[in-house]
A = this chain, B = another copy of it.
């Protein structure tokens, strides 16, 4: 498997949650991992965080797996981002935290302003979008295409 230069967990988790929403029963880490082309343990690790925040449920044993614990209209992208532990948003930053050098202080101040505003913008955008909006968009696209309804994860993500 090739490695990402950036963190794609948010993208991956949203994908999983939307598939769960179109599903009757729970889905196993095994199945989700195949679809996401990763390892079941990785799925469990990520989903464990969401479960602790009350977004999903997990059940052991026969017929067990992962399912949604809350209505999609009450979950924003920002909620999920936070539930993932608020990973770093920016790939660039200052060389040092609180330098003695005045020159460096000036550089840091200028860059920090820009960094802070960009992060605030991202978070604000994330906060405006609920998962139910994304689901609606999926249904719109399906309707536009006029294709038969198929949300089945195994079929869609067949390798």
Contact = CB atoms under 8 A, between A and B. Distances in A.
A15 B104 contact: yes
Interface string A18-40: 11001000000000000010000
A108 B89 CA distance: 16
Q: Is the interface of A mostly helix, strand, loop or mixed?
A: helix
Give the interface residue-count category, chain A. 35 or more
B93 A90 contact: no
B10 A111 contact: yes
Given A11-B94, A105-B138, A118-B118, 16 more contacts: A5-B88, A8-B95, A10-B92, A11-B95, A15-B101, A15-B104, A19-B103, A87-B92, A88-B91, A89-B92, A90-B90, A102-B156, A105-B141, A106-B137, A110-B134, A118-B121
Interface of A: 4-12, 14-15, 18-19, 22, 36, 77, 87-95, 100-111, 113-115, 117-119, 121-122, 125-126, 129, 133-135, 137-138, 141-142, 151, 156-157
